[in-house]
């Protein structure tokens, strides 16, 4: 597709990055289940390893099936390139890897998926990195948290689990003023509902496991490069601006320009961290993305219907869905997520922790799983599962307090979902 920017989203989600297989004419992208690729000759091999030519070397680095997925996600997000990897958590580490060094830190939102909070507050310490968590609604606090060792700002477009919408324009203005990249996790929104690069994001990360694949079959992650950040504007990012010893002094930003981060992610990140996406996972995700817009429309439609009903139930204390007029984040929908506030939100029950546990156990149509973004409606009590490792204060700050249940609305009949929720709420409050 030579004129991809001229096509609409529904067309791009099917065609971007995909071409008929030149050997067989196969219309669907084949699963290239191979470890390695034959070089034309010794000069060809040397050119590939020197990054003088683009091509396939070894499937830890590049694979034709994965390459199609990378181009499709980058196109849908409005980026110049993307790197796919084994999971959303892998994508976060790979996004930070070229930016960080021992003693460096990131400024992160308090409203993040519990596993991300744990990764940033505990695991990255083993690399000598650290994170400062701030309420991103408090812009002065975000500014105050930045210091000389800060190397990135991190948030979610639609926060998991609460469905809170981040003011990306305001946050990107802060990151721009500080000369720092803004990394936005767009998993809950997908590029159909939100395109963070249009709001100033430098990098966009995804757990492709969720809405992009949409069928709960495979794990995966992606990092999308906006191509807009000047990595050579300061000495803060030597991995991208300074000579790279492993490539005979090559400077990634000087050599690859807007694609510097993407090439580094493959040539260094995948080469040395090995967080590779397998081609079968890429194939499943490509098939899922073909119906992304249709699914997201139904997710949003159902979420509005179900959340509106839940808000009126006597057993419910409050609902956090930003698509409701009662939400303090409702005013951000039109500017940040103009096609809807997604299909993820939380419900606080008046009966507290015990009522939440009984509610989850009483549901029949909803699946009790540690996942979201499936065609099926899913539920989980975050405080006892995904956010269990956090303190109660951290759980509350993340929107996952003991009295809260996270709901991921699927694409089933909304009346059936409401009936199931009603019977479970009645049992939980009995």
pLDDT tens digits, 219-258 = 999 999 999 999 999 999 999 999 999 999 999 999 999 9
Mean pLDDT of 160-173: 95
**Reported pTM:** 0.95
pLDDT at 31: 96
Mean pLDDT of 303-309: 98
Domain(s) of CATH 3.90.1150.10: residues in the chain? 292-428
pLDDT at 1: 45
Contact partners, residue 89, CB within 8 Å, separation at least 6: 115, 116, 119, 207, 221
Q: Which CATH architecture has domain 292-428?
A: Alpha-Beta Complex (3.90)
Beta bridge partners of 378: 367, 408
Say yes or no to pLDDT of 10 above 50: yes
Per-residue pLDDT tens digits for 252-275: 999 999 999 999 999 999 999 999
Domain(s) of CATH 3.40.640.10: residues in the chain? 8-99+181-288
pLDDT at 5: 55
Q: Residue 126 and residue 292: Cα distance in Å, rounded?
A: 37
Average pLDDT, the chain: 95
Reading the block at residue 241, the tokens are 């601006």
pLDDT at 2: 45
Per-residue pLDDT tens digits for 358-417: 999 999 999 999 999 999 999 999 888 777 777 888 877 777 788 999 999 999 999 999
pLDDT at 17: 95
pLDDT at 348: 95
Q: Residue 403 and residue 428: Cα distance in Å, rounded?
A: 12
Mean pLDDT of 190-197: 98
Mean pLDDT of 115-140: 96
Per-residue pLDDT tens digits for 98-119: 999 999 999 999 999 988 999 9
User: What 3-state DSSP class applies to 335?
Assistant: helix
Mean pLDDT of 315-320: 96
pLDDT at 3: 47
Reading the block at residue 225, the tokens are 């490069």
On whether the 8-99+181-288 domain is CATH 3.40.50.9100, my answer is: no
Residues above pLDDT 70, as percent of the chain? 99
Concatenate the DSSP letters of all residues of 114-169 into one string.
HHHHHHHHTGGGGGT-EEEEE-TT-HHHHHHH--TTEEEEEEESB-TTT-PBP-HH
Mean pLDDT of 181-208: 98
Residue 313: name the closest of 355, 364, 255, 273 by CA.
Answer: 355
Per-residue pLDDT tens digits for 41-74: 999 999 999 999 999 999 999 999 999 999 999 9
Say yes or no to pLDDT of 198 above 50: yes
């Amino acid at each position: 597709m030579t004129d991809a920017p001229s096509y609409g989203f529904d067309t791009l989600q099917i065609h971007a990055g995909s071409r008929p297989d030149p050997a067989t004419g196969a219309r669907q992208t084949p699963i290239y289940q191979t470890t390695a690729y034959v070089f034309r000759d010794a000069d060809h091999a040397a050119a590939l390893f020197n990054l003088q030519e683009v091509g396939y070397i070894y499937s830890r680095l590049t694979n034709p099936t994965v390459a199609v997925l990378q181009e499709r996600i980058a196109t849908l997000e409005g980026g110049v390139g993307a790197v796919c990897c084994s999971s959303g958590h892998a994508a976060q580490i790979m996004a930070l890897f070229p930016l960080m060094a021992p003693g460096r830190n990131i400024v992160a939102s308090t409203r993040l998926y519990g596993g991300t909070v744990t990764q940033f507050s505990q695991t990255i310490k083993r690399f000598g990195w650290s994170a400062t968590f701030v309420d991103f609604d408090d812009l002065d606090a975000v500014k105050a948290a930045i210091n000389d060792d800060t190397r990135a700002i991190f948030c979610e477009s639609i926060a998991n689990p609460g469905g809170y919408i981040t003011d990306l324009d305001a946050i990107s203005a802060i990151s721009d003023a500080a000369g720092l990249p803004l990394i936005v996790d767009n998993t809950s929104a997908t590029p159909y509902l939100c395109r963070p690069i249009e709001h100033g994001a430098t990098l966009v990360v995804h757990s492709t496991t969720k809405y992009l694949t949409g069928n709960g079959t495979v794990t995966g992650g992606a990092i999308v490069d906006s191509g807009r950040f000047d990595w050579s504007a300061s000495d803060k990012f030597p991995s991208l601006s300074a000579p790279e010893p492993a490539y005979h002094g090559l400077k990634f930003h000087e050599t690859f320009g807007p694609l510097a981060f993407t090439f580094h992610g493959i040539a260094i990140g995948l080469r040395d961290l090995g967080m590779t996406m397998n081609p079968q996972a890429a194939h499943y995700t490509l098939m899922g993305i073909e119906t992304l817009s249709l699914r997201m429309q139904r997710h949003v439609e159902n979420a509005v219907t179900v959340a509106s009903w839940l808000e009126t139930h006597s057993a419910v204390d409050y609902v956090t869905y930003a698509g409701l007029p009662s939400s303090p984040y409702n005013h951000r929908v039109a500017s940040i997520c103009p096609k809807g506030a997604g299909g993820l939100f939380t419900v606080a029950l008046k009966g507290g922790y015990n009522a939440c546990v009984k509610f989850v156990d009483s549901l029949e149509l909803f699946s009790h799983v540690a996942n979201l973004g499936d065609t099926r409606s899913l539920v989980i009590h975050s405080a006892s599962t995904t956010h269990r490792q956090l303190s109660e204060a951290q759980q509350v700050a993340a929107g996952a307090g003991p009295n809260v249940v996270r709901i991921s609305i699927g694409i089933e009949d909304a009346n059936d979902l409401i009936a199931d929720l009603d019977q479970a709420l009645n049992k939980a409050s009995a």
